[in-house]
């Protein structure tokens, strides 16, 4: 079930949120702690305005809620909620309120007994869940906050140990727990929560529309095949939209999830536990992943960077789709033979893929980098010319300028790696950054009359190739 958490201060606000998302949700959660206090005097009205079964939750401040008043008042209001016909009431796992529990039993209102931790995964979490599940009429709920790959792995293992408990809700908050919100069916949780606004009800909530259209939440089952992307940061990635749109078009029980990673080896254990079939790799792990691969395609071997991993019976197979992804938009725009000289700004993992691609066309390659020693090593490895980043006269000699650093990427969008460089109109400017769609680098080039290419085209092209590797099918021509 997809449960929309309502965090309005007024009933009108909540009604409007429900109206907006009604078609995507199965259940509501009314956060009584967000509502104006005077509205709580008429619990029947609050319930009657809801078009779906609902959970009544009155969360205290130290459990992540807004309520700071007396326990007596809180229990009284929760009791009234049960009386008013809420289908579920959420109380803390250790709350001692026998009258409320008995009333819930009589009224056939299910009790969700919740436990919250905002600092990692407590060692006694399994005990808490098991103990809570053994109480009558109780659905145990744990919401914990993993902050590293190792903690995400710990949470996943606990969830798997709890497989025998049929009705439960175990969710990870924040970016490292995000997978639990998307894979709730696969992980055996009764429901997943979402909000009218991102992070509205809790850290990691996305909107019902995003759950439906970015992650196909209505289609993926407990047997869904899992793919994803690793990186840090990675939650901003547009790859889930691209891949999941393709899965939807083919009606596949498959999902693609962003996995923020602090340790590649912990993630690889996590991937084994979750049976992840393949994943994309982004900054800063395109090189870090190499020692873990048992096989590499020639692009990965030559670029020394891998952006796609397939999990096979023999181990991890590395592919690099950035090379083809980079060339595709160029091929579409110009005759490649017209590019006699190319400037590559940056000498990192992305620059390596770009240079590998450029070697396939007959162009003289010049690399410009902030750290000259790195440029020198890069130039030696790839057999190209190198210069310091401020060698603007040299950049001016090039027909194509490819920007491969992260300078100008969201959120720091006001920067360019070549401040004050004056483009000339015969040059083509290609920035591989895709957020924002027009960086300062590209804007300055466009203002000088240059043809420009942004990173979105490369992202889509490399992602479509990944989709083929993951599914064995071409990316559908038109998404759903
Ligand atoms: P990386 O390996 O960390 O390399 C970063 C490069 O940026 C290095 O050359 C570094 O220079 C330079 N740099 C960083 N901060 C700088 C600054 N303040 N001033 C000047 N130069 C600076 O990262 P990467 O994997 O190459 O990725 C770089 C960018 O490419 C990211 O924004 C990524 O999102 C984008 N990308 C896009 C696509 C796509 O499909 N569109 C694909 C791959 C990557 P130093 O050597 O001096 O540190």
366 three-state secondary structure: strand
**296 contacts: CB under 8 Å, gap ≥ 6:** 290, 306, 317, 318, 319
* HSE-up of residue 353 (Cα within 13 Å, Cβ side): 28
* In contact, 157 and 129? CB cutoff 8 Å: no
Residue 475 is classified by DSSP as P
Using the atom order of ligand 1, give the atom closest to the CA of residue 346. Answer: 9
Q: Is 76 a catalytic residue?
A: no
* In contact, 427 and 442? CB cutoff 8 Å: no
97 C-beta neighbours (distance < 10 Å), count: 18
Residue nearest to atom 18 of ligand 1 (CA): 407
How many contiguous H segments (helices) and E segments (strands) does the chain have? 17, 20
Question: Is the distance from the beta carbon of residue 350 to the nearest atom of ligand 1 less than 6 Å?
Answer: yes
> For 2-221, which CATH superfamily applies?
Aldolase class I (3.20.20.70)
Rounded to 5 degrees, φ, ψ at 254 are: -145, 145
**298 contacts: CB under 8 Å, gap ≥ 6:** none
Alpha helix ranges (H) inside 387-454: 392-396, 440-447
What mean pLDDT is predicted for residues 119-125? 94
**Rounded to an integer, what distance in angstroms lies between the CA atom of residue 241 and that of residue 214?**
5
> Which pLDDT tens digit goes with each residue over 133-180?
999 889 999 999 999 999 999 999 999 999 999 999 999 999 999 999
Q: Is the dihedral of CA 13, 17, 18, 20 positive or negative?
A: positive
Q: How many angstroms does the Cα of residue 27 sit away from the middle of ligand 1?
A: 44
Using the atom order of ligand 1, give the atom closest to the CA of residue 389. Answer: 20
Residue nearest to atom 4 of ligand 1 (CA): 348
Residue nearest to atom 7 of ligand 1 (CA): 405
Going by C-alpha positions, the residue among 41, 33, 36 that lies closest to residue 12 is 36
**428 contacts: CB under 8 Å, gap ≥ 6:** 333, 334, 339, 399, 400, 401, 450, 451, 452, 453
DSSP states of 294-319: EEE-HHHHHHT---EEEEETTEEEEE
pLDDT at 344: 98
What mean pLDDT is predicted for residues 309-317? 97
Residue 451 β-bridge partners: 428
Fold: same for 243-322+465-479 and 323-459: yes
Looking at every residue in the chain, the average pLDDT score rounds to 95
Residue 293 β-bridge partners: 316
87 C-beta neighbours (distance < 10 Å), count: 18
**Does residue 258 carry a pLDDT above 90?**
yes
pLDDT at 94: 87
Question: Is the distance from the beta carbon of residue 408 to the nearest atom of ligand 1 less than 6 Å?
Answer: no
Residue 6 confidence class, pLDDT cut points 50, 70, 90? very high
Residue 268 confidence class, pLDDT cut points 50, 70, 90? very high
pLDDT at 480: 42
Residue nearest to atom 27 of ligand 1 (CA): 350
Domain ranges of the chain: 2-221, 243-322+465-479, 323-459
What mean pLDDT is predicted for residues 120-127? 95
- Inter-residue long-range contacts of 192-200, CB under 8 Å, 24+ positions, other chains counted: 192/1, 192/2, 192/3, 192/217, 193/3, 193/4, 193/5, 193/29, 194/2, 194/3, 194/4, 194/5, 194/25, 195/4, 195/5, 195/7, 196/4, 196/6, 196/7, 196/17, 196/20, 196/21, 200/5, 200/7
**Rounded to an integer, what distance in angstroms lies between the CA atom of residue 201 and that of residue 238?**
23
Q: Which CATH architecture is the domain 243-322+465-479 placed in?
A: 3-Layer(aba) Sandwich (3.40)
Q: How many angstroms does the Cα of residue 403 sit away from the middle of ligand 1?
A: 9
* In contact, 92 and 67? CB cutoff 8 Å: no
Would you state the structure tokens that stand for residue 118, as one six-digit string?
A: 């905002």
**Rounded to an integer, what distance in angstroms lies between the CA atom of residue 413 and that of residue 257?**
26
Question: Is the distance from the beta carbon of residue 244 to the nearest atom of ligand 1 less than 6 Å?
Answer: no
Please tell me the pTM assigned to this model: 0.90
pLDDT at 283: 87
**Does residue 98 carry a pLDDT above 80?**
yes
**Rounded to an integer, what distance in angstroms lies between the CA atom of residue 171 and that of residue 226?**
18
39 three-state secondary structure: helix
What mean pLDDT is predicted for residues 233-255? 96
Is 323-459 a domain of CATH 3.30.750.210?
Answer: no
Question: Is the distance from the beta carbon of residue 349 to the nearest atom of ligand 1 less than 6 Å?
Answer: yes
Using the atom order of ligand 1, give the atom closest to the CA of residue 371. Answer: 47
């Amino acid at each position: 079930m997809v449960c929309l958490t309502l965090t309005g201060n007024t009933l009108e606000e909540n009604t409007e949120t429900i109206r907006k998302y009604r078609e995507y949700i199965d259940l509501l959660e009314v956060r009584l702690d967000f509502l104006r206090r005077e509205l709580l005097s008429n619990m029947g009205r609050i319930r009657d305005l809801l078009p779906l079964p609902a959970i009544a939750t009155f969360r205290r401040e130290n459990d992540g809620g807004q309520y700071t008043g007396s326990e007596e008042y809180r229990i009284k209001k929760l009791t009234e909620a049960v009386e008013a016909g809420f289908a579920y009431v959420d109380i803390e796992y250790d709350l001692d309120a026998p009258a409320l529990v008995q009333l819930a039993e009589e009224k056939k209102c299910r009790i969700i007994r919740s436990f919250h931790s905002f600092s990692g995964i407590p060692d006694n979490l399994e005990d808490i869940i098991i103990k809570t599940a053994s109480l009558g009429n109780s659905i145990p709920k744990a919401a914990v906050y993993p902050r590293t790959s190792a903690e995400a792995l710990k949470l996943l293992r606990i969830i798997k140990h709890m497989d025998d408990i049929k009705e439960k809700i175990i969710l990870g908050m924040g970016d490292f727990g995000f997978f639990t919100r998307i894979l709730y069916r696969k992980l055996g949780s009764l429901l997943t929560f979402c909000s009218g606004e991102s992070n509205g009800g809790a850290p990691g909530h996305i909107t019902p529309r995003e759950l439906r259209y970015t992650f196909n939440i209505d289609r993926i089952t407990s047997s869904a095949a899992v793919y994803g992307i690793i990186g840090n940061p990675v939650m901003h990635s547009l790859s889930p939209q691209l891949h999941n749109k393709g899965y939807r078009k083919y009606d596949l029980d498959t999902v693609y999830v962003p996995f923020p990673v602090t340790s590649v080896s912990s993630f690889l254990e996590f991937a084994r536990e979750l049976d992840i079939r393949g994943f994309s790799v982004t900054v800063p792990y395109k090189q870090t992943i190499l020692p873990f691969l048992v096989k590499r395609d020639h692009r990965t071997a030559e670029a020394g960077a891998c952006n796609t991993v397939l999990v096979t019976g023999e181990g991890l197979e590395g592919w690099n789709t950035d090379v083809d992804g980079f060339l595709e938009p160029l091929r579409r725009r110009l005759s490649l033979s017209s590019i006699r000289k190319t400037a590559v700004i940056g000498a990192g993992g992305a620059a390596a893929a770009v240079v590998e691609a450029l070697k396939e066309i007959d162009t003289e390659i010049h690399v410009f980098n902030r750290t000259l020693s790195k440029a020198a090593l890069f130039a030696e490895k790839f057999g190209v010319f190198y210069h310091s980043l401020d060698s603007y006269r040299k950049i001016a000699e090039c027909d194509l300028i490819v920007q491969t650093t992260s300078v100008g990427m969201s959120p720091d969008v006001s920067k360019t790696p070549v401040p004050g460089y004056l483009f000339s109109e015969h040059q083509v400017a290609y920035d591989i950054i895709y957020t924002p769609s027009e960086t300062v680098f590209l804007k300055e080039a466009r203002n000088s009359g240059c043809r420009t290419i942004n990173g979105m085209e490369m992202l889509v092209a490399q992602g479509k190739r990944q989709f083929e590797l993951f599914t064995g099918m071409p990316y559908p021509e038109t998404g759903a």
